[in-house]
Amino acid sequence: MLNLKEIISDPRRACEMRWPDDTHEADKNFIAVNALIEAIASIKPAIKAHKIAKQECARDFGRIKALGGDLTLQKEQMQRVTSEMTALEQKQQTLEAELLDLFAHAPTTVRSFPARFDEYSRASPAATNVALVNRDTQALWDDYVANHPQASFYHLYQWRAVVEASFGHTCFYLAAKNAEGQLCGVLPLIRLRSSLFGNFAISVPFFNYGGPLADNNEIAQQLLDAAIAIAQERQLDHLEIRATHIINQWPVRSDKVSMIRRLPITVDELDNEIGAKVRAQIKRARQESVEICIGHLNLLDDFYRVFATNMRDLGTPVYGKNFFRNILESFIEQSHIVIVRLHGKPVATAFLLGYRDMMEIPWASTLRSANALNMNMLLYRVVLEFTIERRYQFFDFGRSTVDSGTFRFKRQWGAQPLQHYWHYWLPSNGELPALKPDSPKFRLLVAAWQKLPVLISNLIGPHIVKYLP
């Protein structure tokens, strides 16, 4: 995401700078508007300070004049303060005029989703080499990801270290190079192997996005062909490739969507857009004795306490706390924890990850005892306000099944569905895997898990969930 502070000194730079070919006009306009608002906001305190200084000069002028003193210095000071204030006011008027002009010429169409969800569009020859890489390639890998318009947060190489340290899984990171030796595609692949769930690899597990990141579909398929060779050599049951568009003719699951909302520029606009019913629920929650905390590692214990209890109530094994600690330590600037406390006790929490123009909420939990007080509604209102203030353009509410309860919850916040396409390579035309908590195979396990004490579920859960994608 563009650093707005870099263009405050000359807001027109946001309109005139050279943008990548795939940057949407609405995105350029949105960033330019934000830059102008920031610039205007930075001028107002200076104007106020000069007005106060001018009033003080006037008082000194009157006092010295009454005493018959020399007014030369006071006149010079008054002229200087007045001149500086006039220049600031003129600059503010200019910026406000530019802001009005931007609104007048704003694009009539606005993106519902970030550019990263578009299909590959780079013109590039096929790769001449696809090979497994190690940490020595991290700098080149991350440079390729940083400059690719369709890259997700989870394509960054550092996630390999997070997964290995948290779960001990084997990772296969494939990179494609062209004839000049430059990277033209990458594919992170993580192997999950257990007697209970099988032996397979995913790009990428635990999150919603992954799959091959390449200059074009041909290179993406070359990466997938290399992944098939690895799967055959290690006798894997299947490969699962998570994408948001069709990438080949493999069998596909399309029963999940991500719920994504384009954000307004201000929080006031958000409140107007979400409607009276949602505002009333948030207002109801604020009437209680609540405290909002936004932080990082300092809130990990509170986050995990609420998250683990909620996962037990849902009948789902919980990740170990070290998984979240590793993420927070690896991505200091991109990760945040939000806590809602009721009478001093944490009852609702969110774990946030921000990358480029989108903030994501991969984990959120509210204690059942606090649901009647709408603490979950307050949590999401706080999270969205935090996201808007940090100038993200989109918010990802996470994955849902269409028309499910979570789907409807996210729709009321203005989120729109983005289709997922999970592709499967299956040896010998096997059946699609059914590793879903709502499948009949796991219903009895879910019911039994809900009866466990939280202390026991926290001890057992991490050893099970590490094999669930």
In sequence order, what DSSP letters do the residues of 402-440 get, joined into one string? TTSHHHHHHHTTT-EEEE-EEEEE-GGG-PPP---TTSH
pLDDT for the residue numbered 342: 95
Whether 273 shows a pLDDT value over 90: the answer reads: yes
Q: What would the pLDDT profile of 275-308 be if each residue is shown by its tens digit?
A: 899 999 999 999 999 999 999 999 999 999 999 9
Q: What is the pTM of this model?
A: 0.76
Burial of 141 (0-12, 13-18, 19+ CB in 10 A): buried
Whether 127 shows a pLDDT value over 80: the answer reads: no
**Comparison of pLDDT for 37 and 222, the residue scoring more:** 222
- CATH 1.10.287 residue ranges of the chain are 4-104
pLDDT for the residue numbered 59: 86
DSSP 62-95: HHHHHTT---HHHHHHHHHHHHHHHHHHHHHHHH
pLDDT for the residue numbered 197: 82
| CA dist list (Å): 163 to 137, 205, 223 | 18, 9, 21
The model's confidence at residue 313, banded by pLDDT at 50, 70 and 90, is: confident
Superfamily of domain covering 122-254: Gcn5-related N-acetyltransferase (GNAT) (3.40.630.30)
Burial 209-218 (b: 16+ CB within 10 A, else e): bbbbbbbbee
Q: Classify 332 as helix, strand or coil.
A: coil
Under 8 Å between Cβ of 278 and 376: no
Whether 363 shows a pLDDT value over 90: the answer reads: yes
The model's confidence at residue 194, banded by pLDDT at 50, 70 and 90, is: confident
pLDDT for the residue numbered 116: 82
Mean pLDDT of 99-117: 68
Average pLDDT, the chain: 85
CATH fit for domain 4-104, picks 1.50.10, 1.10.150, 1.10.287, 1.20.120? 1.10.287
Is residue 232 within a helix (H) or strand (E), and if so which, with residue range?
A: helix 217-233
**Comparison of pLDDT for 360 and 66, the residue scoring more:** 360
Residue 398's region, left for phi above 0, alpha for psi from -120 to 50, else beta, is left
φ, ψ for residue 67 (rounded to 5)? Answer: -90, -5
pLDDT for the residue numbered 207: 94
Under 8 Å between Cβ of 91 and 50: no
- CATH 3.40.630.30 residue ranges of the chain are 122-254, 264-392+434-465
Decide the pairing of beta strands 256-262 and 183-194: unpaired
Query: Does the domain formed by 264-392+434-465 have CATH 1.10.10.60?
Result: no
pLDDT for the residue numbered 103: 59
**Comparison of pLDDT for 242 and 123, the residue scoring more:** 242
> How many residues are given for the chain?
469
Whether 170 shows a pLDDT value over 90: the answer reads: yes
Q: Choose among 191, 250, 190, 239: nearest CA to 217.
A: 250
The model's confidence at residue 376, banded by pLDDT at 50, 70 and 90, is: very high
Mean pLDDT of 71-87: 87
Q: Classify 2 as helix, strand or coil.
A: coil
Whether 146 shows a pLDDT value over 80: the answer reads: yes
Handedness of CA 113, 114, 120, 123 (dihedral sign): positive
Strands (E), 16-158: 129-132
Q: What would the pLDDT profile of 405-450 be if each residue is shown by its tens digit?
A: 999 999 999 999 999 999 999 988 777 776 655 555 555 555 555 5
pLDDT for the residue numbered 263: 94
